[in-house]
Structures are given as C-alpha cells and as structure tokens.
Structure 1
C-alpha cells in the first residue's frame, strides 16, 4: 500500500515463493485468480452474496465493524485497477449498483432487484398498492449488523414518520439510496480511491455496466466453436483423431470442468469479451495452442504464458480422458513457463 501511482503502473512480474517459472503472463494471471478468490471470499466478511443462485457479490455493510475495513477496500480498488491495467481477469461478478457507482451512473429501484430481491418486491408492492392501512411502516429500516438489529432512519426522525400515499415514492427512493449507496459509502469511497490510483475514474465514464463487467471479469460462457476456430496446432492437424477426441471430451464436460481445463491451459477461467481470438499471452493476444508431445509416458501439461497445451498422442480415447483428468487434478504450481 506504500507504492505510489507511478509505481503501480510499472510492468508486473509475479514469482511464487518456492516455485520455478518465469512470468510471461501466466503467473500473473494465476496470481490475480488466486488473490481474487481470497479477497472476495464472503467468509472474510468484506463482501457478501446477494443470493446463492447466481453468486453476485456486493459490499457487506457490516464490514465497517473491522477497524481496517477502509484499508482493505482501498487495496481492493487497487487490485481491480491492476487487473484491468494488465488485462487479467478476476473471477468475480458484482451486482449492477457496484458497477454503476464506478461509472458514476444513477442508481434506480431496478438495481435493487439483484442486490436485495425481498426489499425490491416489497417496494414494488408499496408503490402499486394503497399503504394507508399498512401499520408500522415508517421512514426507517431495521438492519442485522453482526447479529444486532439496528434501526436506521432514512430521514431525521424517520422512525416516527409514517409512509403514506403522498410520500411513498420518496420513501422508496430513500430506501434504494440507503440499501445500495449510503449503507456502504465509506467502503465504496475507499475502493474508488484505490482504483483511481491505478486508472483515473473518469476513464470509465463512457462504459456501460455490461462492458465494465466484462472488463473486470471477462466472460465465463464458452463458445466451443469459437474456441476451436481460434486454436492453433503444432505437430497435429485439426482432423487428427486425438484432436477430435479432445474436443469431444471438452464438449461433454459440464461448465465447471471446462473452466478448470481453460484455467489449466491459460491461467484464467475467463474469456475476453472479443472471444478466444483475444486471449492474452506474454506479448499481447495469443491464440490457444495444442502442441504434440512425443513422450506417451507424460501427462498433458500446460504453458499458461503461451496458452499452450502439450498433448501426447495417446492411442485410445479412454487413456486421453484418464490422463487429462489426472493432469487437471494435480495442476498446482508452475514449472516451465
């Protein structure tokens, strides 16, 4: 955290302690991936899932209980900025309001739907129905803060101000502002400060939410035909039996196994918005490559800096499946990049 802005923009080289390997891009990709897992882990308490269906992350307002929370979010902003600057992806997806605050865009009631679906449904009901007979509805909200229920007033004296037909739209607006902005404003301010130290915030102003999401996280959806089209072969041809078997196996895998395979080969489970043609290597865009390995006793191996899979020409499909599974299972550390 002591580094100055000019230092943060220098070329990034990663060396894992106790492991071999020169960083031509693959080690950095793996570093961002592993660090992101730790930083955005909800068990840490700084971020939380809005639900367990799509695993969208949002800042946890209760993180303010940690005396070093602003330092953490300052660091997180730098991490996001460095990942973007060096064209690496973080394995995380945030709620829409998170991106909008980076972009300087207005927050609306619709943004509450992915952040807090229950409150969103409640506000929609209030706006569409007569609330004259609804008891105990005031300009306040009860929040669970580490097991303690605390009342936050949306306006001064809000706990004693009833919500009526005349002011319910104001109530909904203030509730959205509290839920998505004010409840975690210190954390977001620290994050934006860190991000701005790497990339000026105004540089993001022309992006859409979707574009910023792809810029930070890439895509976790794989177009297998696009993957095949943008694959080079060294020592093999695209119609060789071993290559046809490989793509059949990959196509039959579920998304998690496909992601694990892409992570194994490239150091990232995400794909650029432009597709596989824009995979990054040590010196810019570098397409996925499958190279023939003559030694049949070897497992398939990868050179993540070059997005390359070294693949022996196994004589039967079952052997290929077994060796691939073993290689992915044992894929830890870097030797040879």
Structure 2
C-alpha cells in the first residue's frame, strides 16, 4: 500500500527555477500572492522532511504513514503489515525494489522502528528519489539543446515552463533501443524507445545534446 504514492514527485529543476523566482521577487521587493507548501520551503532550505510535513503535499502517503503509527502495538509487532524497510520505484516502465536502509529487506517494521520507517519512506519519496535525475547532470548548454530538440524553442520564457503554450510530454515508442530519441516539437513530445537501462538512455541523450 505504501510502496508508491499517487502523486508524482516534482523534478529538481522545478525547485531550482522556483528558488530563482523567489530570489528575484525578494531582490526587487515584489509582492506575489502565491502560497507555497511547507514541503517546498523545507526543501529549498535544505531541512529534513518528516511525514507530518507532507499532510497537504501528499495526503495519500501521509494517511498511510499515520495509520502505521496509530496501529495497535501488538498487531505491528506480530508483523500483520508484512512490511520491511523497502519501497518500490518505477524506472523506465518497470518496478524495482529500493532499500530505505542498509539491508532493509531483512528489517521487519515493528513498534520500535515504525517512526523511523515512516520518515525514511517520506525522505525517499521527496528527497532521495529526485536527487539524481538524467537532465540534472547536463550542462546549461546541453539543457538548452535538449529544450530546442524537444520544443523548437531556444530559451525559456521569463515565466519558465509555465509560460509555454503546452505541457511537456514524454512518450514511449516501439522503435529499437538502438535508435535515438525523437520528438514532435509542435506538440512538445519527446519520444523514447524502450531502453534497457538508465545509462543507455543517458548515453542517447548525450548524443543528441
């Protein structure tokens, strides 16, 4: 039940861009009527995030974590939940198990460690899983090339991605994994063949950029 959340994690670029916009508004003393979530502020401040902080950001995950903490002690210690310190991530259309703690697959969640389990799960969901992204390792020049390849736009509007005419889309094609990614710039679509690994995908993107 807690393996994954229904809400997709925000990309690292979102926090970087939003942080820059906040800095500009502070620099020029511009007031904006926008309310940011507690999780957002904690992340840009480099603070730790606990499950209590995600109440509004991810109600589904918050509810699951809270139920674990509220369960009867004996039920938890009797391993009714059948949980260990692992969670599931989706990568390239497939599911993979990720240990939240060294040797986590052999650590049963019980009454004494369920607080730690909840917090590690939240940390993975909001911090660890988005810490290393494909585009994040590219130079600014490479990102501009990728943006142009994807949308035929050479640079972002002052409003960032929100200023685009459409959302960016990623599609999976039936092309051979030997092929490079393709795009439909009119519809802001970036298309990937079913690459066998993240490293192969990174290599193909590097060729393009």
Classify the TM-score, shorter chain.
0.3 to 0.5
TM-score normalized by structure 2?
A: 0.48
Larger relative contact order, structure 1 or 2 (CA cutoff 8 Å, min sep 6): 1
